[in-house]
Chain A
Amino acid sequence: MTEVGEPSTRAVDEGPARTHGGYDATFRVWRGDASGGELQTFTVPVNEGEVVLDVIHRLQATQAGDLAVRWNCKAGKCGSCSAEVNGRPRLMCLTRMSTFAEDETVTVTPLRTFPVIRDLVTDVSYNYEKAAQIPAFTPRPRDPDGNHRMQQVDVDRPQEFRKCIECWLCQDTCHVIRDHEENKAAFAGPRFLIRLAELDMHPLDVVDRRDAAQEQFGLGYCNITKCCSEVCPEGIHLTDNGIIPLKERVVDRRYDPLTWLGSKIRRRRD
């Protein structure tokens, strides 16, 4: 019996879909662990409409049963299957095979910025450590009727940053830590700079995180070269809408004599 969602055999034969869909692709996949590894070459069938993650799964099911890869939703919503495809940080589930020529070798490597665990899986604990250091959201009290009132225009900006699926591609591509392991202690990475921006713009939050952003999370390390914005699969404008506004807010707090003077006077009045 043919179920819904499954084209009948006839549809497959007649449809234009599969007749000129399939071909054999050459894949180079990095395999190994912390003690070493290499790019291994595979020849693997590709069907129409597939993405890189499908091909990796096919390798796993047919040629390399223990090929380690992290994935989850396969729909670009969870941010698990991050890797580097032809040297560019990508979600494998959102990298369509149709973007490559059929005779093009596709190279898949683990995220470079993080220690490798095995094959395409890296140890991303750096990100979770930074997340735990961010001063928590602290709301003002609710209105007397038990609600929080906020206007849509006021939540629009922080909502953009809450689209983040924590795929860590921005962290991976950021040269501050990609090329300088020693900066990891002092720099939280683009993901957490926009988290700080989000909290700073949050209409309900009452904590000032501007000094922390500069001193503890290394905002000054960012030289706004925008690679984070280029790789973001959610299209978040990390630099223009998050990091630069945060830098400007830090200037208000620390480097603007007028605001500084103003805040002194206001503080005295309080």
Chain B
Amino acid sequence: MELERHAYDVVVVGAGGAGLRAAIAAHEAGARTAVVCKSLLGKAHTVMAEGGIAAAMGNAYPEDGWRVHFRDTMRGGKMLNHWRMAQLHAQEAPDRVRELEDWGALFDRTPDGLISQRDFGGHRYARLAHVGDRTGLELIRTLQQRTVALGVDVYMECTVTRLLTDADGVTGAFGYWRESGRFLAWEAPSVVLATGGIGKAYKVTSNSWEYTGDGHSLALAAGAGLVNMEFVQFHPTGMVWPPSVRGILVTESVRGDGGVLRNSAGNRFMFDYIPDFFRKETAETEDEADRWYDDKKNNRRPPELLPRDEVARAINSEVKAGRGSPHGGVFLDIASRRPAEYVRRRLPSMYHQFKELADVDITAEPMEVGPTCHYVMGGVEVDPDTAAASVPGLFAAGEVAGGMHGSNRLGGNSLSDLLVFGRRAGVAAAEHASKRAGVVALREEALVEAARAALAPFEREGGENPYAVQSELQQTMHDLVGIIRTAPEMERALERIAVLRERVAALSVEGHRQYNPGWHLALDLPHLLAVSECIARAALAREESRGGHTRDDFPATDPEWGRTNLVCTRTPDGELTVTRQPLPEMPPELAEVFEEQT
């Protein structure tokens, strides 16, 4: 068997914000580091992030501080976050942002020359460091340029299909070049998963094709657990028209900068959906909400800026009640509320996106928007301080890791999450590797077996087309494990997933190994199926509604479930199973934060 082999201390899977930040940290800690990514360098899904990086720097509001950010994050996640992750995140985000400037990032400025910070849903103060509405691009480019300047090896357009382990933990990874279809293996005592999310399990999603849950599935296969996979965030505002762009994100900044949601009757319906939990801090009248944009101290926030789960559910209800827009969404209107010049300056990418993709001028007419699958809060269960999974040598950071965001993520907390835990994972991975130097080796049988499995779709003939199976899976998840869930529907989803699993095992692909997208998809599908099954199983088990998980048959939030995590693991016979685990308890000095300010 022909195989390209490499040896490193740390292999990072994924070159988005978390992966690149981890690679930089590992390299700076002295580890020989490689980054492996499915796309070209700099194309990772992080570029899609628009709003900003949440960090309590206090540039706009000196009252802001990590405790306020911590509190906002926990409340946004309905208290199901791992408190320690939320704490580290809030404490370290400002330094992670400042360090980007040392690497060349150019954020928008305040009048006194500091990094400008903008308002976003769920955040008490304006705290999102941003660059217009292309912050993700700035982040990825900065980290990319830093990675290249440091001389970190990057394996582009290269997919990892397996993690290799022995009794003592990780020994490396196996994968293929997308371009040539040839195999390669990395011997490494530490592997950092930074593969992002699972959006491609759903039909309407803001995520790119890369988001097939590879990291989640690789971790499961290696023996790690996935925590709270039932929490999937549907971003309230995705494009709904034309069909070919359905799901593409419309940034929350549109609402932060004055945009409002209206139904077909022209009403700002969000005032009808303010939950008690947020009533004290949300405006009751349109006048108060409108005053807030200019005077944030004496007015409460508009309900359009409630956390994403609340807004998504509200839009869902309006459409179902028949008050939706012509193409099945609601109207997001900034045209009638802000001058055209202001919209073009504050939201240039959005202006561009609607003009180019939908032929809609957002400075002249409202947008049509609806919920779109955006982010999975669940992910690999990790130690907060080191981002280490339960398998020695395996680390996870960014969207693929779980716990940080609880049941619902606040906008802007994703980019800061990438930076804080990407760095922590890189440091810890380098340290782990230094202890295991020279003792890891790849077993030949495992490599042969990995290669055999990868080539299997070519061996079979007359099987199904992978595109058909993927679209059926997406439809299943969309219809049966979507925003609003019920037990019978999810049971049906599990039955269908079982059938799809058999169909995936019988797939066949045409052509040869050189840059063959059909083959690539056939190899991604088992990952998608595994995460879909975890989501459905966990969602069926959690009999309450909370954050990104809404049960029609259990509409209330249950305090007992508020102390419980669900962990999805693979049993020795290969089945997926979900078990309950107590939520780590917050120390009293942090719990005080929630009493002192309400």
Contacts and interface: CB of A to CB of B under 8 A. Distances in A.
Query: When A and B assemble into the complex, do they touch directly, with CB atoms less than 8 Å apart?
Result: yes
Interface string B488-517: 000000000000000000000111101111
Given A5-B329, A74-B208, A151 B98 contact: no
A163 B359 contact: no
A78 B209 CA distance: 12
B370 A5 contact: yes
Q: Please classify the interface of chain A as helix (H, G, I), strand (E, B), loop, or mixed, using the class held by over half of its residues.
A: loop
Given A5-B372, A73-B48, A118-B515, A152 B106 contact: no
Contact of B515 (A121, A159, A235): A121
Contacts of A8: 328
Interface string B232-254: 00000010111111111100000
B281 interface: no
B126 to A, nearest CB: 16
Most chain B CB neighbours (cut-off 10 Å) among A2, A137, A158:
A137
A93 B327 CA distance: 21
A162 to B, nearest CB: 6
A7 to B, nearest CB: 4
Contacts of B243: 47, 49-50
Contacts of A124: 40
B441 interface: no
A163 B134 contact: yes
Interface stretch (B266-274, B476-484, B585-593): B476-484
A75 B98 contact: no
B308 to A, nearest CB: 14
A165 interface: yes
Contact of B112 (A51, A70, A149, A155): A149
Interface in A206-226: none
Contact of A78 (B47, B156, B516): B47
B43 A79 contact: yes
Given A3-B204, A73-B48, A11 B327 contact: yes
B10 interface: no
A39 interface: no
B393 to A, nearest CB: 29
A75 B353 contact: yes
Given A11-B328, A131-B148, A76 B357 contact: yes
A11 B208 contact: no
A74 B248 contact: yes
B116 to A, nearest CB: 8
Given A5-B238, A54-B244, A65 B48 contact: no
Contacts of B465: 61, 65
Interface residues of B, number: 82
A98 B244 CA distance: 13
A169 B330 CA distance: 36
A67 interface: yes
B45 A73 contact: yes
A149 B370 CA distance: 40
B242 A166 contact: no
A7 B245 CA distance: 14
A137 B329 CA distance: 45
Contact of B240 (A5, A131, A147, A151): A5
B510 A66 contact: yes
Interface stretch (B66-74, B137-145, B405-413): B137-145
A77 B137 contact: yes
A94 B241 CA distance: 15
Given A118-B514, A149-B113, A165-B47, A50 B208 contact: no
B558 interface: no
A151 B204 contact: no
A68 interface: yes
Nearest to A132: B148
A69 interface: yes
A1 B316 CA distance: 12
B60 interface: no
Contacts of A50: 242-244
A119 B179 CA distance: 11
Interface string A31-72: 001000000000000011111001000001100011111111
A146 B98 contact: yes
Given A5-B247, A155-B109, A202-B104, A77 B349 contact: yes
Nearest to B330: A4
Nearest to B368: A5
B358 A49 contact: yes
Interface in B194-210: 204, 208-210
B288 interface: no
Nearest to B246: A5
Given A4-B319, A137-B104, A204-B101, A71 B209 contact: yes
A199 B142 CA distance: 12
B247 to A, nearest CB: 7
A117 B109 contact: no
Contacts of A1: 479
Contacts of B510: 65-66
Q: Top 7 closest A-B pairs, CB basis?
A: A49-B242, A66-B511, A149-B113, A137-B104, A136-B149, A5-B370, A65-B518
Given A15-B326, A137-B149, 19 more contacts: A3-B478, A3-B482, A5-B329, A7-B326, A11-B327, A33-B514, A50-B242, A60-B517, A68-B516, A71-B209, A72-B45, A76-B357, A80-B39, A128-B156, A150-B109, A151-B113, A159-B106, A166-B42, A205-B104
20 contacts: A3-B478, A6-B328, A11-B326, A15-B327, A47-B243, A49-B241, A50-B243, A66-B509, A66-B511, A68-B516, A70-B40, A75-B353, A77-B353, A96-B356, A117-B514, A155-B107, A155-B108, A165-B137, A166-B42, A204-B101
